[in-house]
Amino acid sequence: MRLVVSAEDGGATEGGDVDDAGLPLPAPAGPPDLADHYDLTISHPAVDTPQFVSFDRWLARAAADLGLSCALIHDPVVHEAVRRLTEGRLRIGYHLDYHALWHVADDPYARLAEAVVDAGGRSVNAPARSRAFTDKAAAHAELTRRGLGAPATVIVRPWCADRELTAEERRRLRLDEPGARVYVKPANGFSGHGVVRVERTDSDGFKTALAAARNHDRREAYLIQREVRPPRLACDDGRERPAYWRILSYLGELIPFWWGSQAAVGPGRPSYHPVSREEVHRHRLQPLLAYTRSLGELSGLEWFSTELCLGDGPEESRFMVTTADGRTRPVLAIDYLNDQCDVDVRSRWAGAPPDDVVRAYARRFARTAWEAKRETKGWTGNGLPLRLAA
């Protein structure tokens, strides 16, 4: 697995010069417009969704450069696409899911990804692996079993009544320490939806907060996790940032970023700040990368993001970092595995990844689809399709 820490390493400029405007991504308006084969598809509910516009256009351009047919599978055609895949009347070579709700039994986009694989195509992430590891309650058990650090956690299952924490659970969460706080998170939440920060951790205050949090979706399991307060580390630009990172793992490459929400970094400031190779060495951050590789090996996901930080307490982790003050701190996963990574662009919204990184994703996915097509046809040539100058 290759580490990409800057544009100079090639991760942001893969494939050479790319027209920033891209091309319109074909989107069948209704079932009659569906073709019987696509080399590459992406799925999300609506055409021209702002956070997908740039990525979709770059994906379409990269596919065209490689001679691939591609399409957006969206709400007007997703049910028919599943039906045709199941009946053998449609084949998709390589599929990039962007809307499956794996915990919802009748979700059409989850069915689409499964139907692609069942029909002999390939999904960027195996649907069964996404279903298993994007459930935070299930993932938590696997992480801790493998010695991968996570915050102190109590899990409340959907069939359990609202209740106070037991004495043992309070001890595990260290709630008697001054200033202790917890977060209550739905096991299948995303983008912060349903997450509640609990300030009052006395018995009555906590029980009230837990009930309010669970009202977001009573069918869900919830994780109660102690708040972690990472130390601040000096960066190459002279600023100190919390030891908190979002690491992107896609098709064998890792791209680490210092990361903070817009609320944390300030509106209009970039949420993603690239980690330099010098920072990796100076702060001895190699365990972050090893942790991320272990997540990939454990989950089997080829495309995911994770949020890691350095812990401030006694949490156990087989990946540790010794900071400049001589203290050895555990590497902890806060947001374990997200299989639908952010492909919005910073030029549209400061909280999104850099444009050149997202453009590189698009080209990499198209190249992988091209390789999948070549393997399917049994073609052993080494050349890429020739694109003639206009």
Widest Cα–Cα separation across the chain: 72
- Per-residue pLDDT tens over the stretch 150-177: 999 999 999 998 888 999 999 999 998 9
Least confident of 43-47, 250-254, 345-349, 359-363: 250-254
Domains in the chain, CATH or no CATH each: 8-127+358-377 (3.40.50), 152-226 (3.30.1490.20), 229-338 (no CATH)
DSSP structure string for 240-268: EEESEEEEEEETTEEEEEEE--HHHH-TT
- Per-residue pLDDT tens over the stretch 198-211: 888 888 888 888 89
Q: What are the two backbone dihedrals, phi and then psi, of residue 330, each rounded to the nearest 5 degrees? A: -75, 145
Report how far residue 320's alpha carbon sits from residue 246's, in angstroms, rounded to the nearest whole number.
17
- Per-residue pLDDT tens over the stretch 296-348: 999 999 999 999 999 999 999 999 999 999 999 999 999 999 999 999 999 99
DSSP structure string for 94-116: EEEES---TTSTT-HHHHHHHHH
Considering the entire predicted model, what is its pTM?
0.90
Report how far residue 13's alpha carbon sits from residue 304's, in angstroms, rounded to the nearest whole number.
20
Residues recorded for the chain:
390
Q: Which residue has the higher pLDDT, 209 or 389?
A: 209
Strands (E) located in 23-169: 37-43, 70-73, 91-97, 122-123, 153-156
Task: Output the pLDDT for position 385.
Answer: 41
Report how far residue 379's alpha carbon sits from residue 373's, in angstroms, rounded to the nearest whole number.
9
With residue 222 as reference, give the H or E element that holds it. Answer: strand 222-226
Of the chain, the end-to-end C-alpha distance in Å amounts to: 37
Task: Output the pLDDT for position 19.
Answer: 55
Q: Which two tokens stand for residue 276?
A: 């330099």
- Indicate if the pLDDT at residue 389 is higher than 70: no
- Per-residue pLDDT tens over the stretch 285-299: 999 999 999 999 999
- Indicate if the pLDDT at residue 382 is higher than 50: no
Report how far residue 62's alpha carbon sits from residue 15's, in angstroms, rounded to the nearest whole number.
9
Report how far residue 239's alpha carbon sits from residue 244's, in angstroms, rounded to the nearest whole number.
14
Task: Output the pLDDT for position 202.
Answer: 84
- Nearest CA-CA partner of 63 in 359, 376, 369: 369
